[in-house]
Structures are given as structure tokens and as C-alpha cells.
């Protein structure tokens, strides 16, 4: 269902004779039904949600991303109404919609005469800034509250480790483990180790039977037509009759339940694997539900830990630890990094890269099978798992010297789970090393050998991963040494790059020229 509940207020004129003393803003990534706002019915509080061109147009989005957010927002508004709350919802084509967040808020406040506005802290810097700057001239008193979603505070890095130029996720992760008690026993990590990542680099055998992902089949034709009629520019593909992503808390919980019962048992083992015929593998695919706050990290982690505790023979420690680390370690850490270094973080360009992304990032028309498959999957599902993002599309962009602004825009647009607080540190910092090491300890670049090890992509590629030079050689092999040669000065003080730099510098000059003098079309 994507239709607005008939009891929902949809016109500002209908607010003229109401007595709402407070207006409460709900952003598209604040769909947290467990928030303290909703614990009791408030007869004089109006909850407001807006579909806006401000949000559809700040970057070019995948159509599934826009449809997913709007559909989830509509379902959330309807759920609030059924629970007895008062809701105003302005659709994208509503004539009262001014298409700007603060202008819409002023119009609502003026229409109902309220002098109090409740806000949950936004997770994106641009929205936080927009609302904070407007506060000085707003016609109402702004009351800020926490979103009650994350396990850590925005300023956790400074609170815990002080002001530093870079931070280690492992130190952060251990602090959160101790704070929450997750996978801890008498103050020590379960199994005697904090990290079991070395056990999580396997690829399934040919005889291994992989489960199918749990998908939905929502008819979102109304929203697809809305975007077309309003001429919202999007990209990517969508099946308007079978939209696959969860759009309510109940559906998100179904995906979570399916993960812990059917997928968690092999999540850790194969979390880095890439297979041509299986786009989801054992991944939870909960990032959209988490990032819209339909599910909380506590709910997700505790469900997984409970499943492991009930069945430790089927779910080994490396499976559960690998998953918990992604949620309470990495996800919380990148948010903390984002708020520690913004706004300068969004402009960092350590390598001074400036090349545009190749056109095939939007079409998937390339003979490099790893890129073709990862990009086509992204266009079809608005999803790729972390290794496809980091070591295929991100790796290639870094090796060719793509402008981090262009890389940011692509990642922010193409994935259904992409909100800037999580996308920017992952793309600009982890993937492109544009921050010079504030988040990652080295650039994540590789030749084709890593992709060959972790996938079956190379077996059916037009290029040969075993060849370094020549027309049939894997482009990743050539580009890798191009990158090392170009940035020797920038990498000279990075201890984790010392061995590879030494190997390059010891090579015969004639051999080096075979790589650095070779022209590429990328």
C-alpha cells in the first residue's frame, strides 16, 4: 500500500481551526516506531512528514531509493494514524508543498498557530545545518531530541579518544563491546578474541547450495507514476509491480527473522565472497531498514546473538562476531567519523584525483566482468554488498584517479541504503582514501588477483586475470601499478604500503615502463 490514509491531513487549510500546540517533524530516515514520542497519544501534537524536491534533487538517486523512502514514509504515517496520532502528510505533488524543509515547516506552524516545534537530531550534516541556521528566525521554539537509534553519541570519538587526526575502528569496536556487553563474558571477549575476521574469507564450493533471499512484491506503480509526472530525474531499474524491499517495521522484522534463522549460520564465512549467479548470498540486507530506523541496531544485534546462543553448533562464533562487528563496530564508527570531521570531510581529496567516472558506472556496459556484474546488480536491485562496493567499483575508481566528488555522488545515488552519514566515510574515506587515513590505515587497492580469489567473475571475463601486460591483460593489474607509481610520494610514510612500494622500486626500469607508459582508455 502506498496510498495515504484518508484520515491524514493533506491540506494546510484544514489546520486553520485546530488547536495543535506542538508540531513534530519526522524525516524520511526517522521512521522509528519505538521512539518515546509515540508512547502515548498526544491530542495537541501534529506529526508532519514531507516528500520534497529538496530531497529528490540534491543528488541523482536510483529510482528504487526514492520509491523506497516515500513508500516507507507513507506506511509510517498510516501506522501513526492507526495508533491514534495526528498526522499531516504532504506528497510530492501536493499544491501546498513548498518543496523545501524549513519553508514547509513555517507554513505548517503558521497554519495551525503552533509555537513549538519538536525535532529529532538529523543524521545528515546538510539537514542539521539547514535546521540550525533557520532556528534563529523560526516563528516557533525548536525543541531538539535524540533520535534514540544509535548505540553511541555523535561525539563519541572525542569523548573516548580525544581530538586526533585519525582513529582505529578496532579500538572503537572494543569500547562498544564493553559498553553493551555484547559477546562478552566476565569482561573478556567471547572465545578469547575480539575479531575472527581471518576466518571469514571463504568462497562457497560449487556444490554448496545457497539460499534465496526473502523478497517482497509491493505494487509501487503509484509512486513510479508520481516521479514520472513530476519529472524527477532518477536512474536504475525497478519492477513497479514487485518492489522487493521491506516498507514497514513488520516486514523489516521478517527479513531479520529470516536472516538469523537461515543465513547467519554462514554469514561470516562468505561475507566477502562474490558470485555471478547469487547477488545476496548470506547477507542480511537490513541496511535500508536500519538506516530508515524501521529497525534499531539493538533489535538486530540482540536477535542475532539470541539465535547464536540457542544454536552454537550451527552458528559458530566467527559468524556472529563478524555480523555484530558490522553493526556495532563499523556502522557506529563511520557515523562517529562523519560527525567528527564534517564539513571539511566532504571536500577531502588526498591524492588530488580529478578524473570523471566512466559512463559504464551508469550503464554497466563494460567488458570487465567484475565491474559489469557489480554495476548491473546495483542498477537492478539498488544494492551491492560491501566487498563489491569496496574492492570492485571503489577499487577501480581509485585506481583510475576518479574525482572523489563524482564517486560520492554515484554511491550516494545508487544504493537504497545510502544516506550521507554512512555513505561519505565509506566511499570517500574507506574506498577512495581521500581523507588521507583518518578512517582507514591504507588505500584499499588491489590488482585482479584479489577479485579472482574472492569471486567467480574472472572465469568468464573478456580479460585474463593472470596476464599483467598486453591487450588481454586484466585492467586492474595495469592500473594497480600505475597507481603505485603515481603516488609513491603520498604513500612513502604509510607502513602498510611499505612492502609493495619496496617491490615496485626494486623493479627493473624497463619493466616499470611496460606499466607506466601503457595508455589506458579508462
Per-residue pLDDT tens over the stretch 59-118:
999 999 999 999 999 999 999 999 999 999 999 999 999 999 999 999 999 999 999 999
Longest dimension (CA), the chain: 83
Average pLDDT over residues 18-27: 95
Lowest mean pLDDT segment, chosen from 37-46, 97-106, 411-420? 37-46
Q: How confident is the model at residue 150 (pLDDT cuts 50, 70, 90)?
A: very high
The reported pLDDT for the residue numbered 169 is 95
Per-residue confidence (pLDDT) for residue 469, from 0 to 100? 86
How many Å from the N-terminal Cα to the C-terminal Cα in the chain? Answer: 44
Statement: residue 202 has pLDDT above 90 = no
Nearest Cα neighbor of 273 from 205, 350, 365, 343 is: 205
What pLDDT is recorded for position 1? 61
Residue 380 burial (10 A CB sphere; 0-12, 13-18, 19+): middle
For 411, counting Cβ atoms within 10 Å of its Cβ (0-12 exposed, 13-18 middle, 19+ buried), the class is: buried
Length of the chain: 522
Cβ neighbour number for residue 39 with a 10 Å cutoff: 8
Predicted confidence at residue 522, as pLDDT, reads 64
8: DSSP letter: S
pTM of the model: 0.96
Instruction: Please tell me the predicted confidence (pLDDT) of residue 516.
Output: 78
298-188-308-36 Cα dihedral, nearest 10 degrees: -10
Mean pLDDT of 1-10: 86
The mean pLDDT of 380-389, rounded to a whole number, is: 97
Instruction: Report the pLDDT value the prediction gives residue 206, as an integer from 0 to 100.
Output: 84
Q: What is the average pLDDT across 186-210?
A: 90
Q: What is the pLDDT of residues 162-197, one digit of tens each?
A: 999 999 999 999 999 999 999 999 999 999 999 998
Q: pLDDT band at residue 17, thresholds of 50, 70 and 90?
A: confident
Amino acid at each position: 500500500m502506498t496510498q495515504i490514509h484518508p484520515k491524514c491531513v493533506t491540506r494546510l487549510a484544514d489546520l486553520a481551526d485546530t488547536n495543535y500546540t506542538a508540531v513534530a517533524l519526522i524525516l524520511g530516515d526517522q521512521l522509528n516506531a519505538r521512539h518515546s514520542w509515540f508512547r502515548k497519544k498526544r491530542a495537541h501534537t501534529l506529526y508532519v512528514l514531507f516528500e520534497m524536491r529538496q530531497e529528490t534533487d540534491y543528488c541523482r538517486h536510483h529510482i528504487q531509493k526514492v520509491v523506497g523512502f516515500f513508500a516507507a514514509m507513507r506506511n509510517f504515517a498510516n501506522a501513526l494514524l492507526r495508533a491514534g496520532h495526528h498526522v499531516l502528510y504532504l506528497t510530492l505533488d501536493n499544491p501546498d508543498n513548498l518543496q523545501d524543509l524549513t519553508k514547509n515547516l513555517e507554513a505548517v506552524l503558521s497554519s495551525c498557530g503552533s509555537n513549538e516545534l519538536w525535532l529529532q537530531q538529523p543524521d545528515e550534516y546538510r539537514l542539521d545545518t539547514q535546521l540550525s541556521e533557520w532556528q534563529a528566525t523560526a516563528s516557533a521554539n525548536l525543541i531538539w531530541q535524540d533520535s534514540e537509534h544509535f548505540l553511541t553519541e555523535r561525539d563519541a570519538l572525542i569523548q573516548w579518544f580525544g581530538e586526533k587526526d585519525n582513529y582505529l575502528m578496532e579500538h572503537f569496536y572494543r569500547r562498544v563491546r564493553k559498553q553493551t556487553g555484547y559477546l562478552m563474558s566476565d569482561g573478556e571477549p567471547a572465545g578469547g578474541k575480539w575479531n575472527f575476521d581471518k576466518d571469514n574469507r571463504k568462497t562457497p564450493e560449487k556444490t554448496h547450495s545457497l539460499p534465496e533471499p526473502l523478497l517482497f512484491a509491493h505494487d509501487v506503480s503509484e509512486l513510479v507514476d508520481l516521479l514520472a509526472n513530476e519529472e524527477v530525474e532518477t536512474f536504475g531499474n525497478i519492477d513497479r509491480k514487485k518492489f522487493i524491499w521491506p516498507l514497514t517495521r513488520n516486514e523489516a522484522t521478517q527479513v531479520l527473522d529470516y536472516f538469523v534463522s537461515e543465513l547467519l549460520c554462514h554469514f561470516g564465512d562468505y561475507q566477502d565472497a562474490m558470485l555471478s549467479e547469487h547477488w545476496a548470498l548470506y547477507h542480511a540486507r537490513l541496511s535500508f531498514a536500519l538506516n530508515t530506523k524501521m529497525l534499531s541496531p539493538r533489535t538486530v544485534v540482540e536477535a542475532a546473538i539470541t539465535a547464536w546462543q540457542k544454536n552454537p553448533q550451527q552458528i559458530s562464533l566467527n559468524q556472529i562476531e563478524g555480523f555484530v562487528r558490522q553493526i556495532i563496530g563499523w556502522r557506529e564508527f563511520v557515523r562517529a567519523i562523519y560527525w567528527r570531521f564534517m564539513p571539511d570531510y566532504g571536500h577531502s581529496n588526498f591524492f588530488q584525483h580529478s578524473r570523471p567516472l566512466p559512463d559504464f558506472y551508469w550503464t554497466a556496459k563494460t567488458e570487465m566482468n567484475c565491474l559489469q556484474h557489480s554495476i548491473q546488480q546495483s542498477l537492478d536491485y539498488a544494492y551491492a554488498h560491501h566487498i563489491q562496493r569496496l574492492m570492485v567499483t571503489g577499487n577501480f575508481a581509485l585506481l583510475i584517479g576518479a574525482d572523489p566528488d563524482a564517486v560520492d555522488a554515484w554511491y550516494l545515488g545508487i544504493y537504497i541504503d545510502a544516506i550521507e552519514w554512512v555513505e561519505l566515510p565509506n566511499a570517500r574515506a574507506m574506498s577512495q582514501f581521500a581523507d588521507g587515513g583518518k578512517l582507514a590505515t591504507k588505500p584499499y587497492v588491489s590488482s585482479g588477483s584479489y577479485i579472482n580469489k574472492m569471486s567467480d567473475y574472472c572465469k568468464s571475463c573478456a580479460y585474463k586475470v593472470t596476464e599483467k601486460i598486453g591487450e588481454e591483460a586484466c585492467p586492474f593489474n595495469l592500473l594497480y601499478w600505475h597507481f603505485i607509481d603515481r603516488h609513491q610520494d603520498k604513500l612513502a610514510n604509510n607502513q602498510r604500503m611499505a612492502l609493495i612500494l619496496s617491490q615496485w622500486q626494486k623493479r627493473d626500469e624497463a619493466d616499470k615502463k611496460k606499466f607506466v607508459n601503457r595508455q589506458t582508455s579508462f
